[in-house]
Amino acid sequence: MGEMMAFTVQGIDHVVLRVVDVEGMIRFYQDVLGCAVERRKDDLGLIQLRAGRSLIDLVDVSGELGQKGGAAPGAGARNMDHLCLRIDPFDEAQIRAHLRAHGVEAGELATRYGAEGDGPSLYIEDPEGNTVELKGPPDARSSN
C-alpha cells in the first residue's frame, strides 16, 4: 500500500468535446451553465469556455482539429477527445518513471495551453484507449 506517488492530481484542467453544432453548444454552455467564451481559434475549429478553474473546449468535428477524431459523435464514434488533469509537481523524469512502472509510455513533452495558460504537458492513454493529458503549472512567461 505504501507506494510513493510522483505527483498528485490537482483537478481537471480541461475537457475537450467534439461537437457537430458549435453555436448551439456555445449557447448551452454559456446560457444554461454560465460558462464564458475565453478563447476562440476559428481556424482550428476550437472554442474554449471558462468553467470555474477549468476550461471546456469545444472542437467542431468539421474543423481542422475535429477531423482528426474521425466521424461525428454518435453511437459508433467518440465525442470526447481527451481529459486533461492538472498535476503538481511536474517533474518529467519522475512522471515518466512512475508511468513506466505501470506499463504506460507517455508521448513527447510539449507546451500546451490550458486553464492556467501555457505549461508543460504529456499525453498518455488509459487502458481503453482514451487520451489523458497530464499538465503541469503554467510557465512563468505564459500569457493568454
pTM for the complete prediction? Answer: 0.73
The mean per-residue pLDDT over the stretch 86-96 comes to: 94
Q: DSSP class of residue 139?
A: P
Q: Per-residue pLDDT tens for 26-53? A: 988 999 889 999 999 999 999 999 998 9
Long-range Cβ contacts of 23-31 (<8 Å, 24+ apart): 25/58, 26/58, 29/56, 29/58
- Side-chain-facing half-sphere of 114: CA atoms under 13 Å: 28
Q: Per-residue pLDDT tens for 94-131? A: 999 999 999 999 999 999 999 999 999 999 988 777 78
The mean per-residue pLDDT over the stretch 81-93 comes to: 91
What mean pLDDT, rounded, does the chain reach?
A: 88
State the Cα–Cα distance between residues 75 and 69, nearest whole angstrom. 14
Q: Per-residue pLDDT tens for 55-75? A: 999 999 888 888 887 777 776
More confident residue, 141 or 47: 47
% of the chain with per-residue pLDDT over 70? 94
